[in-house]
């Protein structure tokens, strides 16, 4: 048997069939342009719809870091899911193609640099425009 991805084991009395994770109560809503000041890091909320409604990214202009969520990642971009909207996704990709990101931490797959961000956005635009 090869190496295990997860090595922690639950307690002997743990029952996966009855396990639940209660939802967290929202303390507020964020929207385009809001600033989240964490003290040592300041993130701007970017509305990046298309893949899913209400999708956001968090942009740290001081470092050029984008936390893109599911708006863009280095794999085939899904835009035909329930709630996806190609016209909105095209606008999001136009926006991301212009963003001067240094590094992108996506919701899926490994992180990538700004050049790859622009390549992925351009490829989507070329395919769907």
pLDDT, tens only, 48-85:
999 999 999 999 999 999 999 999 999 999 999 999 99
SS3 label, residue 43: strand
Whether 96 and 59 have beta carbons less than 8 Å apart is answered as: no
Residue 10 inside a domain? The answer is no
Q: How many structural domains is the chain composed of?
A: 1
- Average pLDDT per 10 consecutive residues for the chain, totaling 129 residues: 66 85 91 96 98 96 97 95 96 98 95 98 96
Domain that holds residue 114: 30-128
Residue 15 confidence (pLDDT): 86
Residue 7 inside a domain? The answer is no
Residue 6 confidence (pLDDT): 65
Residue 2 confidence (pLDDT): 60
Which residues are 36's β-sheet partners? Answer: 43
Residue 25 inside a domain? The answer is no
Residue 98 inside a domain? The answer is yes
Residue 94 inside a domain? The answer is yes
Candidates 95, 93, 100, 98; CA nearest to 114 is: 100
Q: What is the CATH number of the domain that holds 70?
A: 3.60.15.10
Residue 109 inside a domain? The answer is yes
């Amino acid at each position: 048997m090869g190496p295990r991805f997860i090595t922690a084991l639950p307690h002997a009395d743990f029952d996966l069939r009855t396990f639940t994770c209660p939802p967290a109560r929202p303390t507020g809503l964020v929207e385009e342009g809001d600033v989240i000041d964490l003290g040592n890091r300041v993130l701007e909320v970017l509305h990046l719809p298309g893949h899913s409604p209400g999708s956001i990214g968090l942009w740290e202009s001081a470092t050029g870091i984008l936390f893109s969520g599911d708006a863009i990642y280095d794999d085939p971009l899904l835009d035909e899911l329930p709630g996806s909207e190609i016209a909105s996704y095209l606008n999001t990709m136009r926006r991301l193609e212009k963003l001067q990101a240094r590094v992108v931490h996506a919701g899926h797959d490994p992180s990538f640099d700004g050049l790859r961000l622009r390549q992925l956005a351009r490829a989507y635009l070329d395919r769907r425009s």
